[in-house]
Amino acid sequence: MKITIPHMGNVYIAVKILFDGLGIDYVIPPLNNKEALSLGSKYSPEEICLPLKLMIGNYIAGIKSGADTILLVGSCGPCRFGEYSELQLKILEYLEYNVDFIVIDAVKSIGMRELFNRIQIVGSESKKRFPGKINSVIRAYNAMCILDEIESQAHFKAGYEKNKGECKRLLNSCKSEVLSCNQPDKALKILKEYQKRIKNIAVDYSKNPIKVAIIGEIYTVIEPFTNLFIEDVLMDMSVSTKRNLTPSWWLKDMLLKIIKLNSMKLLKASNEFLPLYIGGHARECVGEAVLASREGFDGAIQIFPMGCMPEIVSKAILPTISREKKLPMLSLIVDEMTGEAGYMTRIEAFIDLLERRREHVFAGN
């Protein structure tokens, strides 16, 4: 069995550490690129959301390098993500690729037993004993958490750094160094070292950079290829960004959802505008916008793929939050069109607006 996974931000690094630790054969498809996108949009339904198209591109690249099993997480609605496995399986069957799908689905829809069975299929490939397996899983989880922290630190400190571009350089060298390392213990050590380095980066807190919250649909905010590397662009502009949705947050959220203790602060903040779960991360998006205004952010950028059902609801709500909480917002809708200029102009204009707004005579009123 040779496993491949679809891309989502830095998840592949944690997955690599996990599979290296377990000793399971795997293929990490090349990072999302134009080829994956054009292959994906060729074979997927026209109106489906962008993540599915990119995933199809990833699978095809993975299969071509010898993968025969696809590992995917699932959900049980009401957002389209829950139906991905079904449709992707049909598409790959139609393309005459012979692959198995292992879908780590929500406990609610398949039951605890089936979930363990599915995890067992992957687990039985590993020759390690049970404690060793648990150890590898914990290590991979730790790696994911540290990586997310490094990333969020780098994104936030980009506005404060003394030497311009240092945060970005550090982040990039961290990723490439971890990826080239095949020993899980060593990889974790590298991550910890970078964690320290990013903590000790030279910053000047007297600066008062523009602070922007990145909110919206989880895949498009995490996967830089889909949002045209917006966080890198903002780092270059010396804008501090904060993004709440990360892979490690998602994992924690999924686990804590079982006992209903997940992201309490966020949900409490969203209660005023959207008191119920409507699928996807619409409620989180609304909550983050409210929190961003409370935490003194200058603005928020919402990103979602064309046609995303839950985010359309939150897009309808955001103008009210923007009005009531005096928080400028920009909605960016991404799809398989890769025209960059339109997005960059909008982002630049938005940041300009935030800067001028501060200098305005009514600023702070």
Stretch that binds another protein, among 135-143, 235-243, 292-300, 317-325 (CB under 8 A): 317-325
141 forms part of the interface with another protein (CB under 8 A): no
Task: Tell which residue, 143, 136, 142, has the closest CA to residue 22.
Answer: 136
Task: Work out how close the CB of 253 gets to another protein at its nearest, in angstroms, rounded to a whole number.
Answer: 18
Stretch that binds another protein, among 31-39, 120-128, 140-148, 307-315 (CB under 8 A): 307-315
DSSP character at residue 81:
G
Biggest CA pair distance of the chain: 68
Task: Tell which residue, 327, 333, 254, has the closest CA to residue 295.
Answer: 327
- H or E element in which residue 330 lies: strand 329-334
Q: How many CB atoms lie within 10 A of CB 229?
A: 13
96 forms part of the interface with another protein (CB under 8 A): no
Q: How many CB atoms lie within 10 A of CB 216?
A: 33
- Residue among 307, 328, 353, 355 that touches another protein (CB under 8 A): 307
Task: Tell which residue, 215, 213, 217, 214, has the closest CA to residue 279.
Answer: 217
Task: Work out how close the CB of 84 gets to another protein at its nearest, in angstroms, rounded to a whole number.
Answer: 9
342 forms part of the interface with another protein (CB under 8 A): no
- Record the tokens describing residue 323, joined without a space: 């009005």
**CB–CB of 73/103 below 8 Å?**
yes
User: Which one, 109 or 120, has the nearer CB to another protein?
Assistant: 109
- Residue among 30, 77, 224, 328 that touches another protein (CB under 8 A): 77
Task: Work out how close the CB of 89 gets to another protein at its nearest, in angstroms, rounded to a whole number.
Answer: 6
- C-alpha to C-alpha distance for 285 and 311, rounded to whole angstroms: 8
Provide the Cα torsion 250, 251, 252, 257; round to 10°.
Answer: 80
| Contact pattern for another protein over residues 20 through 59, marking x by CB under 8 A | -------------------------xxxxx----------
**CB–CB of 299/40 below 8 Å?**
no
Stretch that binds another protein, among 146-154, 253-261, 315-323, 351-359 (CB under 8 A): 315-323
Binding-site size for another protein (CB under 8 A) equals 47
280 forms part of the interface with another protein (CB under 8 A): yes
Residue ranges in 174-203 that form contacts with another protein under rule CB under 8 A: none
312 forms part of the interface with another protein (CB under 8 A): yes
Task: Work out how close the CB of 48 gets to another protein at its nearest, in angstroms, rounded to a whole number.
Answer: 5
Stretch that binds another protein, among 173-181, 192-200, 206-214, 269-277 (CB under 8 A): 269-277
Task: Work out how close the CB of 82 gets to another protein at its nearest, in angstroms, rounded to a whole number.
Answer: 6
- Residue among 97, 273, 328, 353 that touches another protein (CB under 8 A): 273
- C-alpha to C-alpha distance for 131 and 53, rounded to whole angstroms: 38
Bridge partners of 302? 215, 331
**CB–CB of 213/300 below 8 Å?**
yes
Bridge partners of 240? 211
Task: Work out how close the CB of 336 gets to another protein at its nearest, in angstroms, rounded to a whole number.
Answer: 14
Residue indicated by tokens 């060793």: 132
Residue ranges in 321-340 that form contacts with another protein under rule CB under 8 A: 333
- Residue among 183, 320, 338, 345 that touches another protein (CB under 8 A): 320
User: Which one, 167 or 289, has the nearer CB to another protein?
Assistant: 289
Report the b/e string of 6-33 with b at 16+ CB within 10 A: bbbbbbbbbbbbbbbbbebebbbbeebe
359 forms part of the interface with another protein (CB under 8 A): no
317 forms part of the interface with another protein (CB under 8 A): yes
- C-alpha to C-alpha distance for 298 and 294, rounded to whole angstroms: 10
User: Which one, 47 or 359, has the nearer CB to another protein?
Assistant: 47
Q: How many CB atoms lie within 10 A of CB 352?
A: 12
User: Footprint of another protein on this chain (CB under 8 A)?
Assistant: 45-49, 74, 76-80, 82-83, 85-87, 89-90, 93-94, 101, 103, 105, 108-109, 273-274, 276-280, 282, 306-310, 312-317, 319-320, 333
